[in-house]
Amino acid sequence: MTTLKAKLQEDLTTAIKARDELASSTLRLTLSAITKEEVAGKEARVLSDEEVLKVIAKEAKKRREAAEAFAQGGRGEQAARETAEGEFLDGYLPKQLSDDELVAIVAQAVEEAKAAGAEGPRAMGAVMKIVNPKVAGLAEGGRVAAVVKQQLS
């Protein structure tokens, strides 16, 4: 049984041998973030594949935000690099939900929340509690919150 972390390490070795600078540097940074997460806290531990996916998602999000900041600052070359790294990391993440799928899941959760007595914009927390386990890893939190807010207003 191969874990996601082991696959990242194998891919790093392959990227180094192929002299793929983008892939090797991105994988090094991601593995470093995973190791940092493993040693955080009171005692060292080994991350599960789900936890490793969360770290990869966080790293990909960092790349997207950095690319946006570089683009706004007029540093197109650096923005392109960050975008490429983010897209490379997206290859390790599960396929994201489409907007239609996300809207359908949120609509169902809004109905469940209404049945439980939650109404209007104050029901946001209740709806998010129902939606988050269903879309974990398949949609970014900001996207989910925007759809929930739209459905509740």
pLDDT tens digits, 57-86: 889 989 999 999 999 999 989 999 999 999
Q: What is the pLDDT of residue 1?
A: 35
Quote the pLDDT of residue 2: 53
Tokens of 95: 């396929």
The answer to whether residue 136 scores a pLDDT higher than 80 is no
CA 113 to each of CA 83, 123, 149: distance values in angstroms, whole numbers, following the listed order: 38, 7, 13
**0.85 exceeded by pTM:** no
The pLDDT value recorded for residue 11 is: 93
**pLDDT score for 82:** 93
